[in-house]
Chains A and B, each alone.
Chain A
Amino acid sequence: MTSESLDRSRPTLRIDAQFDRLDRTYAPGAPLTARYWIAGIGQERVRSIERSVDWYTEGKGEEDLGVHFFERIAPPSPTDAVVEGTVTTTLPASPLSYEGVIVKVRWCLRVRVFFTSGRDFVSEHVFAVGDLPPARPAAPATRIAPPVPVVRGAST
């Protein structure tokens, strides 16, 4: 993950995105439009660009993911200093974004650039679907009183 930043001879590749909702929060089933800009490609030749709208889980256990929208587009002209594009899609009803403790559900616009050299660069721009509140901080552990033993045959 750090090989790119260590190579000083390469310009720093950066992908910026702007969503049509400033707070990046969308209602389930709402339309989404996002623009992105890829800068710093430099002299390296691009093989292809993939753009997608995905959700994935992140946490302590098994992971899951879903691809809601996917498109592979042709490489840009070598003379383009900045490559830009737009993604438009209608979001599904679920899953809703969630900031849990053990698992989180995240939606993102993902733009991935593949170079002819074999390396690739992926950029994830997170947005939210729905407005679920995040999980609350865990309360301090409390002692639970042991159950009162039941004595069979005892008369009261």
Chain B
Amino acid sequence: MTVQWIGRGARNPFATRFIRPGMIPPLDAEGHPVSVAALAARVPHGGFMALVGPHGSGKSNLLAALAAHLAQDAVVMQSRVRRARDVPGLLARIARLPVAAIACIDGWERLGALGRVAVRVVARCRGCDLVVTAHRPCGPVLARCMTTPSLLARVVAMLGPDDAVIGHDDVTAAYARHAGNVREALLDLYDLFEQRIRGSAAGVRT
């Protein structure tokens, strides 16, 4: 989808709508594009695979891109788990999936131990594949997500803020401040962008 936006004032490029999972093409740790097709080819039928990495390393983004790719040839269900209470609803959705569908679950650890067992059992009974995101290995690993300052710099370049508002030093500092958590670093840059835009609008450089 191509988007043309015509409005007044500056638009914060770090707003959720531009950085949420699926909006930024997946990149590797150095900021190079990831071949989603190659990853999708490694998802086994009736199997379980995990995207593993720390907070804010791009797992959800990669899962969203993978799900979109897999949906070209299969029925794909996407679910973002927030808490263990989501388990009954998730089980009901998986139980309604056709055979050979793929369930993409973001936040595997939030299901809790019993929830994880139940989801695996129901998915196996339905003959469905599971692709999940997790912070630690919990089965076969499809990809390990990691970050570097170069990755964040590349993401910021893709989002395209005015260099006069957000510079390279700001990006490097945000990465260091959040210990490699790219999501938090981007939200940090959101605040910085607002501060500077509003500061300049009021004649005050903050």
B15 & A58 in contact (Cβ 8 Å cutoff): yes
Residues of B bordering A, CB below 8 Å: 1-9, 12, 15-17, 20, 187, 190-191, 194-195, 198-199, 201-202, 204, 206
Contacts of A51 in B (CB 8 A): none
Q: In residues 1-52 of chain A, which contact B (Cβ within 8 Å)?
A: 1, 3-4, 13-15, 17, 24
In this complex, the member of A60, A122, A135 whose beta carbon has the largest number of chain B beta carbons within 10 angstroms is: A60
With beta carbons under 8 angstroms apart, the residue of A4, A24, A108, A125 that contacts B2 is: A4
B183 to chain A minimum Cβ distance, whole angstroms, is 11
In the complex formed, the residue of A with least CB distance to B198 is A137
Is A59 in contact with chain B by the CB < 8 A criterion?
A: yes
Contacts of B199 in A (CB 8 A): 137
B195 & A137 in contact (Cβ 8 Å cutoff): yes
In the complex formed, the residue of A with least CB distance to B197 is A137
Q: In residues 119-145 of chain A, which contact B (Cβ within 8 Å)?
A: 119-126, 134-138, 140
Which 6 residue pairs are nearest across A and B when measured between Cβ atoms? A126-B7, A137-B198, A123-B4, A4-B2, A121-B2, A58-B15
Contacts of B15 in A (CB 8 A): 58-60
Q: A3-B2, A14-B4, A124-B5 are in contact. Are A137 and B12 (CB under 8 A)?
A: no
A1 to B17, CA, bound (A): 13
Contacts of A54 in B (CB 8 A): none
A125 to B8, CA, bound (A): 10
Is A146 in contact with chain B by the CB < 8 A criterion?
A: no
A47 to chain B minimum Cβ distance, whole angstroms, is 14
Contacts of B206 in A (CB 8 A): 137-138, 140
A124 to B201, CA, bound (A): 24
In the complex formed, the residue of B with least CB distance to A100 is B194
Contacts of B8 in A (CB 8 A): 24, 126
